[in-house]
Amino acid sequence: MSETRYTNQHEWVRVEGDEATVGITKYAAEQLGDVVFVEVPEVGRSLAQGGEAAVVESVKAASEVYAPVGGEVTAANADLTGDPAKVNADPEGDGWFFKLRIPDMAQLEKLMTAYQYAEFVKGL
């Protein structure tokens, strides 16, 4: 069973077992506009919850992507290097940024559920 949680910085994290997949939300991708460059973290890197993890650049702006949860990076989406537009096409699917192993599942309690995130975005 997977569960998706969200940050107020518009990152999502989908947890399956002890591994989490991370990306930016559809809302964030829409705000950025056409994504032209993505820098993902290297495998083996240790990330702290809320720490800088990746960079995404669009025709409008460059933004940091923060780790919704801390852990060790187990995979990076190399497809984004050659085709950064995948972030716009499918931000919460094929446009994922990286995966990490989560040592402490309690970190998820600090994040928003899908319903909470939808309500948060309505207020923006």
Tell which residue, 35, 104, 24, 42, has the closest CA to residue 70.
Answer: 104
Please write the tens of the pLDDT for every residue from 24-64: 999 999 999 999 999 999 999 999 999 999 999 999 999 99
Is 33 a domain residue?
yes
Is 6 a domain residue?
yes
Question: What is the span of the domain harbouring residue 92?
Answer: 2-104
Please write the tens of the pLDDT for every residue from 95-118: 999 999 999 999 999 999 999 999
Q: Is pTM, for the whole model, over 0.85?
A: yes
Write the CATH number for 53: 2.40.50.100
Is 120 a domain residue?
no
Structurally, the chain folds into a number of domains equal to: 1
